[in-house]
Amino acid sequence: MIEENEKEWSNIERWLAQGASFALYRMPQDDVCHGLMQNGAVEQLENISLLNGKAGFVFAPFRIDFQNPLLLLKPEERICFSLKAEQDFDRTITEEVSPLSESYSACFASFLQELCEGECRKLVLSRRARIGREEGFSVLRAFRAACCRFEFSYVYLFYTPETGFWLGCTPEILLSGGQGAYHTVALAGTQSLQQGKLPQQWDDKNRAEQNYVTEYILSQLARKGICAEKNGPYPVRAGALAHLKTDVHFALAAGEGLGDLLKLLHPTPAVCGVPKEKAFQFILEHETTPRTYYTGFLGWLDPQGQTDLYVNLRCMQMLPDAFVLYAGGGILSSSQVEDEWQETEKKMGTMRFVVHHGYAK
């Protein structure tokens, strides 16, 4: 560990040794690391609406169930320090493309059939990949590498005995703001950067994906009588990829529960589909591996102060013997299986970078 932050990193090492529940996070385009620790059991909630009036660090799954509860960490100890002095890392993301798997192809076919013959207009198909874990890996080294490399993402490291270790670098805001003024985003559509620059040309498939998410958010807010202003879409970067983004700003009256609002927004079509309820049920019935906390949401919640919650994308679970990487993509009736597979491979490149740099050189 570097000398400037030795005390702070030593505190975090102590949390690890104690087996305490904790969260580390760094906001996009910031250089400050926030650390939160709680001894004892973390509060488990059975419904997103139960977050009304509560404050703490939220870690929510795609679907709440007995094995994947919604968790609320209430810190007993906090630290905050600058990452400016952290050493630089090799910033290259190596693109590794695995061959298209039969299980993914079969799952894609069932999704495509629903899109062509059923009621869903968009579905998000996810998958996971497993990488063996070797001696010498450090979760803190991996977190520091992610903070250094992915400046435009929300970077986090989270641990509880219930969830184990999770690490992610997500570009997507679910809810941000405070004092009655809030902000969410529609983030959908994906392509690679072009010689390191943001692409300006986007095909109809990507624009349609983006529009589904934007219209969903606006309609859900309208159900609560909220009139929102939108700005976009415009391209933004996330690692080696670019996405289309639309900002949505709105006011929330005093006394409105943030839990109720989050229940209305989650899951968005960016991680689920259109229409929401039918897409959600179809995914639960047809995806071959459970998402657990992938495409859930996480971050700091405070109805009396600042809230910053993000969708759990570009993430992995770190097991004692393996890393489980997650990725997904929006499927329309015009989608091609090879293109969608390639997109998930590129998205997994973010966590492959983090795994690689979690080992001492």
Q: Which CATH number goes with the domain that contains 119?
A: 3.60.120.10
Rounded Cα–Cα distance for residues 56 and 301 (Å)? 5
pLDDT of residue 84: 76
Residue 106: which domain range?
3-90+99-357
> In the sheet where 241-251 sits, what is the strand order?
43-45, 70-73, 56-60, 297-301, 307-311, 173-178, 181-192, 241-251, 229-238
Q: How far apart are CA 122 and CA 280, in angstroms?
A: 11
Residue 275, preceding peptide bond in cis (omega within 30° of 0):
yes
Question: Given this model, what pLDDT does residue 127 score?
Answer: 97
The residue-averaged pLDDT of 186-200 equals 91
What angle do helix axes 102-117 and 337-357 make, rounded to 10 degrees? 130
* Beta-carbon-side half-sphere exposure of residue 1 (alpha carbons within 13 Å): 16
How many domains does the chain fold into? 1
pLDDT tens digits, one per residue of 315-344: 999 999 999 999 999 999 999 999 999 999
- Give tens-digit pLDDT for 273-319: 999 999 999 999 999 999 999 999 999 999 999 999 999 999 999 99
Q: What percent of the chain has pLDDT over 70?
A: 95
Tell me the pLDDT band of 40, cut-offs 50, 70 and 90. Answer: very high
Distance CA 155, CA 128 (A): 20
Q: Which residues contact 248 (CB under 8 A, 6 or more apart)?
A: 183, 184, 185, 186, 214, 217, 218, 221, 228, 229, 230
Contact between residue 329 and residue 107 where contact means Cβ atoms under 8 Å apart: no
pLDDT above 80 (res 92): no
Tally the C-alpha atoms within 13 A of residue 243's C-alpha that lie toward its C-beta.
25
Count of other CB atoms within 10 angstroms of residue 75: 18
125: left (phi over 0), alpha (psi -120 to 50) or beta: beta
Give the percent of the chain with pLDDT over 90: 88
pLDDT band at 6 (very low <50, low <70, confident <90, very high): confident
Residue 85: predicted pLDDT = 55
